[in-house]
Amino acid sequence: MKTVSSLLDDHWYERYKRISKLNIRSSIYDVTDRCNLRCKGCFFFSSGEHQAAAEEKDITRWHAFVESEMARGVNLAILIGGEPTLCLDRIEAFYRRLPTFCATNGQIKVPRERFPDLMVGISLWGDAEDEKILRGKDTFRISSANYAGDPNAYYLYTITPKQLGKTETIIRKIKDVGLKVHVQLLSNDEGVDGFSWRPEELAAVREEMDAMLDCYPETMISSKYYHRIITTGEMGGRKFGWMECPSVTSALDRRESRPRRLTNFIRWASDLKTMHRCCTSETRACSTCKDGAAHMSWVMVNKRAHMNSTVDLQNWVEVYEMFAKLYRFIPW
Amino acid sequence: MSADINQTITRIAEIIIDELKLEDVSPATFDPDLDLVDEVGIDSMDLATIALVIRDEFGIRIDEDDYPKLTTIRIIAEYVADKRSGGE
């Protein structure tokens, strides 16, 4: 029988043991159905999720809800949808009780005196030109001023096909404001012309992401295996899609093949009652979904499928470490 | 008691080998003190699957909160024996 220690040397085995018992149980929460931007390709609005449920406005219910989520075993709250920083009291309901990550467009600064170590992920959809086309403004100018040097914030850089050959400029800008960056790929849910990926572009962006990781290892939180997974949609000969996705809401998961999945994962709407199908848009085609977290989770829940060789298991360790760093279960 | 525990260890080893489709190991060669997470690489979903089979086979319920401490086959066997004798 292949064991972990028979595949990994002492250095890698120690890295494995650092993460093997973290037992991360995440769920995702829409904090509000409003946003201060309207981005083309934002799945929350393009799929009508902002109209799926009327947000709960009674803050006492948010507090009670978080308690019930903790009782359900959740130990990582991922706050998204529409723009969480419009409702700081709701963020606080989570933050007071459990590790909390807040995805934001960065246009409103989270007050650090109130949320000293709240994990903040700032969305960025390319360079200023792309951002103006897709989001109506250059968000980086404001978000970088709000969060420069913040040790608990990083950029979630969504690379678009138009960014090929330009990513270094963005990554250097992020480095220069003292922040780190995690990369993912635009899924282009609204089919904006010129922003859908072609196979040769996916191959090229993989090479570019790998090169950036080599050049900026202290700035980029990533791994080459992750790059391979999100650009090919393949893992060990299996194709990513509905029958493989680990990030389907558990209570709505009727898949008879019972694929490996996140334990007890739910994506909640902001009425605190409605559940969304999965971590991203219900209208998105799963076979072309580029969601970075879903692909990371896909790797993470398939650990033993990576116990065939030393390299496979090292790849798994790197992806798990990346996830654990992004949500601060281990240091950068 | 010792014979009972050894039987339980063997049966749990069989369950784990079957459920996880482990290769190159048999109930007789499976070290009952091998760390299931740190060495075999099982995760909480695997444990949930194993727990269901154990529930059906031994008529006991394994609390999800107990998963983290069920780190070896021997510990699981002792947990099963304890539950079956009415202990907590």
Summarize pLDDT for A229-270 with one digit per residue, the tens.
999 999 999 999 999 999 999 999 999 988 999 999 999 999
**Would the CB atoms of B68 and A5 count as touching at under 8 Å?**
no
Quote the minimal CA–CA distance from B27 to chain A in Å.
12
Structure tokens at A210: 């790998």
Q: How many domains does chain B have?
A: 1
B40 in contact with A, Cβ within 8 Å: yes
Residue of chain B whose Cα is closest to the Cα of A4: B39
Look at residue A200 in the predicted model and tell me its pLDDT.
97
Please tell me the distance from the alpha carbon of residue B76 to that of residue B62, in angstroms, as a whole number: 10
Sheet holding A119-124, edge to edge: A180-185, A153-159, A119-124, A100-104, A76-80, A26-30, A267-268, A275-276
Amino acid B68: pLDDT: 87
pLDDT for A41: 72
Q: Which domains does chain A have, with CATH numbers?
A: 25-286 (3.20.20.70)
- Count CA atoms closer than 13 A to B41's CA, side-chain side: 26
Of B22, B38, B48, nearest to A1 by CB-CB distance is B22
* A1 vs B25, B45, B67: nearest CB: B25
A308 close to A5: Cβ distance less than 8 angstroms = no
Spatial neighbors of A155 by CB under 8 A, at least 6 apart, are A121, A122, A123, A124, A143, A174, A179, A180, A181, A182
- What's the whole-number mean pLDDT along residues A55-59? 96
B12 and B81 Cβ atoms separated by less than 8 Å: no
Here the CATH number for the domain that contains residue B17 is 1.10.1200.10
Give yes or no for B33 touching A (CB within 8 A): no
Over range A287-297, report the average pLDDT. Answer: 92
User: Nearest CA of chain A to the CA of B46: how many Å?
Assistant: 9
Structural domain boundaries, residue B70: 2-84
| Cα gap A55→A128, rounded to integer Å | 32
pLDDT at res. B65:
85
Q: What pLDDT was estimated at residue A43?
A: 75
- Amino acid identity, residue B39? E
Distance from CA of B23 to the nearest CA of A (A): 6
Integer Cα distance of A120 and A151 in angstroms: 10
